[in-house]
Structure 1
Amino acid sequence: MSASSLDLTFAALADPTRRAILSMLLEDDMAVTDVAEPFEMSLAAISKHLAILAHAGLIAQEKRGRVKWCKLEPDALRAASVWMQGFGQFEPIHLDEFEAFLARELDGADTQGG
């Protein structure tokens, strides 16, 4: 995934309304009017959010008859997830355990050295 694709993904995810929309679409495909229903904003504002999500490749939109439907793109977040997992490759440091380890090592050095 290119840096610009990651930028688009993270920019789209930065907005809480768009994250809520993605969560809704996890359940099933939805008509745009159904997506808009729980939000206290205009249909035009929701449409802008949907356009940003579509531009980032996170959702797809299609017309079925007179109704525009939205669906989550199943692999859309895979590249972003792989990128983020790169930061999780290190074990978290438990400071209490690390402090105890250092104390044991320093004690051992003191008794061995002198």
Structure 2
Amino acid sequence: MTENNQLRDVFDAIADPTRRQLIRLLAEAEEIPLHELTVQFPMGRTAVSKHLTILKEAGLVMDRKVGRETRFRLNASPLREVQDWAASYSKFWQSNRLRINQ
């Protein structure tokens, strides 16, 4: 776990296409209510909520109550771990690209 006190691994959280789509939607808006997120998917509110919980456990999503509504926003800082991991392969990609182009 990182200093964010994450309960779930970031890689595990982003492994699911639905959760990646949720991250994309949240990245495009400052904050989105649950009902607006739910209409973007062919599943019910409970299923979307479960995906958001997993993202929340990884520190990727934050929520707040506004009256009876729950609003969600992205906390992209845990994605730095994914970016750093992928960047560690840049030498591999560069050398393989050179071999392919020859």
- Please confirm whether the aligned pair reaches a TM-score higher than 0.5, indicating the same fold: yes
Larger Rg: 1
- Measured against aligned partners, the alpha-carbon deviations of 1:89-110 in whole angstroms (never above 9, x if no partner) come to 342332253xxxxxxxxxxxxx
- Measured against aligned partners, the alpha-carbon deviations of 1:5-30 in whole angstroms (never above 9, x if no partner) come to 6x711111111111111100111110
Q: Distance in 1 between matches of 2:62 and 2:19?
A: 14
**Structure 1 runs of 4+ with >2 Å offset:** 89-97
Q: Which runs of 5+ in 1 are unaligned?
A: 98-114
Q: Which runs of 5+ in 2 are unaligned?
A: none
Task: Please give the TM-score of this superposition, normalised by the length of structure 1.
Answer: 0.73
Q: Distance in 1 between matches of 2:15 and 2:35?
A: 23
Q: Distance in 1 between matches of 2:95 and 2:38?
A: 40
Structure number with higher helix proportion? 1
SS at match of 1:70: strand
Alignment correspondent of 1:16: 17
Structure with larger RCO (C-alpha < 8 A, sep 6+): 2
Task: Report the number of matched residues.
Answer: 94
1:45 to 39, 44, 47: 47
Task: Please give the TM-score of this superposition, normalised by the length of structure 2.
Answer: 0.81
Task: Work out the percentage of aligned pairs sharing the same amino acid.
Answer: 33
